[in-house]
């Protein structure tokens, strides 16, 4: 160990600053992890909403197909 008080003080100060930076970094990481979790929940909610919309659109498509069939509509009669 170095007995020079100036070097000792310098090293102590550098370690203190490093510890402070690591503490700030750890706090930042906790914040980012929390935000990421929130984004994951929001994304899951959006995916569920899109799935419901897809399901409803599929139902509408089936209903329109049945209506077309019951009215005996075809591509040529609609277009012409």
**pLDDT tens sequence for the chain (80 residues):** 668 999 999 999 999 999 999 999 999 999 999 999 999 999 999 999 999 999 999 999 999 999 988 898 766 555 55
Q: Which residues contact 74 (CB under 8 A, 6 or more apart)?
A: 68
pTM listed for this prediction: 0.55
- Give the model's pLDDT for residue 79: 53
Q: Which helix (H) or strand (E) holds 17?
A: helix 5-70
The C-alpha atoms of residue 56 and residue 54 are separated, in whole angstroms, by 5
**CB-based contact 41:35 (threshold 8 Å):** no
- Give the model's pLDDT for residue 25: 98
Radius of gyration from C-alpha coordinates of the chain = 33
């Amino acid at each position: 160990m170095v007995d020079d008080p100036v070097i000792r003080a310098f090293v102590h100060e550098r370690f203190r600053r490093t510890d402070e930076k690591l503490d700030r970094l750890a706090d930042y990481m906790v914040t980012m992890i929390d935000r990421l979790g929130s984004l994951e929940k929001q994304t899951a909610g959006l995916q569920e909403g899109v799935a419901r919309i897809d399901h409803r659109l599929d139902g509408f498509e089936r209903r329109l197909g049945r209506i077309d069939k019951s009215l005996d509509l075809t591509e040529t009669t609609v277009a012409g």
